[in-house]
C-alpha cells in the first residue's frame, strides 16, 4: 500500500487515468470475482464475504481472485480460488465483472459493464473518513456502489466519498453476520463474565494518522498499571480481552497474559485462532471508543462502555460524523480510572442502566439484524448460484 498522499494523487491523475481508459473497453467476464484489500491480509468485510462465497459453493461457478499485499500472499487449495498481490490485481480488475473493496481500493473508474462495491473496513463509524478527514487523497469515487448499515449514513458517505447519494445502498455489512451467526466459540467457563476491549488506533505509521497524543495501547492504563487492572478484574472473576487495532502503531507492545487480562496484537489474535466477531457474540460486554466495533456490538444488546479520555483532542484532530456524537454512545462514558472502576463494578453486578438507550441507537444505526448482509451484497452485484 502506498502511504504518501502526494504520490497517490500523482498516480491517480496519470497512470491510473490511463488504466481507466483501458478498463472502459476491456471485455468483462461474469464468472470472475475480485476481492481487494489495500493493506494487511484478507480481513475486515472481505474475510466473511470470502467465507460465505466458499461455504455456499459460489466458487463452483465463479473464479474468486483475492488480492492482498505481498507479505500476506499465499496459495489456496479451494477450487477456483487464487491469491495474487496488488500488481496482479490490476490485471484481474480489467477482466472482472464483480469487484469488492475493503480498506483501500484501486483508483480505477469502473466500466459500465462492471459492478464495483466498496465496503470500507467498517461501515458503522463515529469518526470521519475519506474526504471529511484532514488527509485529502483527492478523488474517492472508484466504485459503483458503497454499502451502508442504515439510511442515516447515506448523506455522510456521500460527503466522505464524493459520490451521489444513489450510489449508497443499505445492505448492512458482512462482518456483522458473524455476530448474528458466530462460527467458533472459546471456553471461558472459568470466569463469571467476559469483557472485550477494542480500542481504535490513535497513531498509525502505516496509514499516516496521528489522531491523539494518547499513546498507551490501552487508554488510561500504561504497562505499569496492567497488574493493578488484572487485580481488579480478578476480584470480580472477570476476563478482559484487549484486542489492539490492526492499524495501531505498536511501539513497545508485547503480548500480555495475566490471570484475568489478555492483551493481543492483531497478528497474535489471529495466530490464536480467534475471530473478533465470533468473540463479540460470546462476550458479555464491550469496551470501545470511536471505532465501528462499538456500534456493531449494539446488535448484541449487551452493555457497552466508551473509554474517551482524549475526546476533545480527537474531535479536533480527526472529527466525528455526528454533531451530537455522545448521543450515539449508549453506555458508561469513561474519562478517568475512577470512571472505569465504576463501570467494572456495575458490569460485574449486572447493573445495566442503558438498555433502552442502546435499543434506540441500535435501531437508528442498523436497519438489519438478520445476518443476511452477504446475501444482499451479492444480489446487489448480480452474483447468483
* pLDDT tier at 247, thresholds 50, 70, 90: low
56 has pLDDT over 50:
yes
Model pLDDT for residues 189-223, shown as the tens digit of each residue? 999 999 999 998 544 444 444 454 555 678 899 88
HSE at residue 74, side-chain half, CA atoms within 13 A, is 7
In the structure, what pLDDT confidence band is assigned to residue 381 with cuts at 50, 70 and 90? very high
Specify the DSSP class assigned to residue 8.
Answer: H
Question: How much is the pLDDT for 205?
Answer: 44
pLDDT greater than 50 at residue 279: yes
Which pLDDT belongs to residue 106? Answer: 93
pLDDT at 201: 54
Residue 267: φ, ψ to 5°: -65, -45
Residues 6 or more apart whose CB falls under 8 angstroms from that of 239 comprise 188, 191, 193, 194, 195, 233, 260, 261, 262
Query: In the predicted model, is pLDDT for residue 344 greater than 60?
Result: yes
87, 117, 104: which is closest to 15 by C-alpha?
Answer: 87
pLDDT at 274 over 80: yes
Beta strands 256-257; 261-264: pairing state: antiparallel
What the block records as the C-alpha cell of 148 is 451502508
More confident residue, 71 or 265: 265
User: At 126, is the secondary structure helix, strand, or coil?
Assistant: coil
- 154-195 pLDDT, tens digit each: 999 999 999 999 999 999 999 999 999 999 999 999 999 999
Task: Please check the confidence at residue 368 and state whether its pLDDT lies above 70.
Answer: yes
Confidence (pLDDT) at 255: 65
Number of residues assigned to the chain = 385
What would the DSSP string read from start to end of 217-277? SBTTB-GGGHHHHHHHHHHTTEEEEEE--TTS--TT---EE-SSEEEE-HHHHHHTT--HH
pLDDT digits (tens, 9 = 90+) for 285-330: 999 999 899 999 999 999 999 999 989 998 998 899 999 999 999 9
CA dist 89 → 35, 92, 158, 219, 325 (Å): 9, 5, 26, 38, 38
Segment among 3-7, 64-68, 347-351 with least mean pLDDT: 3-7
Who's near 237: CB < 8 A, 6+ residues apart?
Answer: 191, 192, 193, 260
Percent of the chain clearing pLDDT 70 (strictly above)? 91
| Res 7: pLDDT | 75
- DSSP string across 23-70: HHHS--EEEEEEEEESSSSS-TTHHHHHHHHHHTTGGGTSEEEEE--G
**Better-scored residue on pLDDT, 71 or 358:** 358
Stretch (H or E) spanning 170:
strand 168-170
When pLDDT is averaged across residues 332-340 and rounded to a whole number, the result is 97
Q: How confident is the model at residue 104 (pLDDT cuts 50, 70, 90)?
A: confident
What's the pLDDT at 3? 52
Amino acid at each position: 500500500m502506498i502511504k504518501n498522499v502526494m504520490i497517490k494523487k500523482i498516480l491517480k491523475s496519470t497512470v491510473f487515468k490511463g488504466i481507466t481508459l483501458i478498463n472502459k473497453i476491456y471485455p468483462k467476464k461474469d464468472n470472475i470475482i475480485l476481492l481487494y484489500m489495500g493493506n494487511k491480509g484478507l480481513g475486515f468485510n472481505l474475510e466473511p464475504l470470502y467465507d460465505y462465497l466458499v461455504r455456499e459453493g459460489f466458487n463452483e461457478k465463479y473464479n474468486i481472485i483475492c488480492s492482498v499485499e505481498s507479505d500476506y500472499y499465499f496459495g489456496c487449495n479451494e477450487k477456483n480460488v487464487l491469491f495474487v498481490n496488488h500488481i496482479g490485481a490490476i490485471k484481474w480488475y480489467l477482466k472482472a465483472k464483480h469487484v469488492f473493496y475493503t480498506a483501500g481500493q484501486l483508483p480505477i473508474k469502473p466500466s459500465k459493464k462492471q459492478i464495483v462495491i466498496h465496503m470500507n473496513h467498517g461501515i458503522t463509524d463515529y469518526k470521519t473518513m475519506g474526504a471529511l478527514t484532514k488527509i485529502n487523497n483527492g478523488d474517492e469515487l472508484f466504485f459503483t456502489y458503497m454499502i451502508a448499515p442504515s439510511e442515516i449514513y447515506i448523506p455522510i458517505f456521500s460527503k466522505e466519498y464524493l459520490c451521489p447519494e444513489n450510489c449508497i445502498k443499505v445492505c448492512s455489512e458482512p462482518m456483522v453476520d458473524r455476530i448474528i451467526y458466530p462460527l467458533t466459540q472459546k471456553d471461558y467457563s472459568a470466569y463469571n463474565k467476559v469483557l472485550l476491549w477494542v480500542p481504535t488506533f490513535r497513531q498509525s505509521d502505516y496509514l499516516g494518522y496521528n489522531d491523539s497524543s494518547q499513546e498507551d495501547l490501552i487508554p488510561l492504563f500504561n504497562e505499569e498499571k496492567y497488574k493493578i487492572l488484572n487485580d481488579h478484574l480478578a476480584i470480580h472473576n472477570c476476563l478482559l480481552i484487549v484486542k489492539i487495532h490492526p492499524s495501531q502503531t505498536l511501539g513497545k507492545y508485547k503480548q500480555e497474559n495475566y490471570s484475568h487480562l489478555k492483551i493481543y496484537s492483531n497478528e497474535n489474535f489471529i495466530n490464536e485462532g480467534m475471530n473478533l466477531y465470533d468473540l463479540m457474540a460470546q462476550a458479555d460486554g464491550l469496551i470501545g471508543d470511536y471505532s465501528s466495533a462499538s456500534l456493531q456490538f449494539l446488535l448484541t444488546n449487551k452493555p457497552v462502555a466508551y473509554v474517551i479520555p482524549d475526546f476533545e483532542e480527537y474531535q479536533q484532530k480527526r472529527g466525528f460524523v455526528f454533531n451530537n456524537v455522545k448521543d450515539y454512545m449508549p453506555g458508561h462514558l469513561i474519562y478517568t480510572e475512577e470512571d472505569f472502576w465504576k463501570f467494572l463494578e456495575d458490569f460485574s453486578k449486572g447493573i445495566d442502566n442503558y438498555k433502552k438507550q442502546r435499543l434506540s441507537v441500535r435501531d437508528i444505526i442498523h436497519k438489519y439484524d438478520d445476518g443476511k448482509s452477504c446475501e444482499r451484497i451479492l444480489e446487489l452485484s448480480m452474483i447468483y448460484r
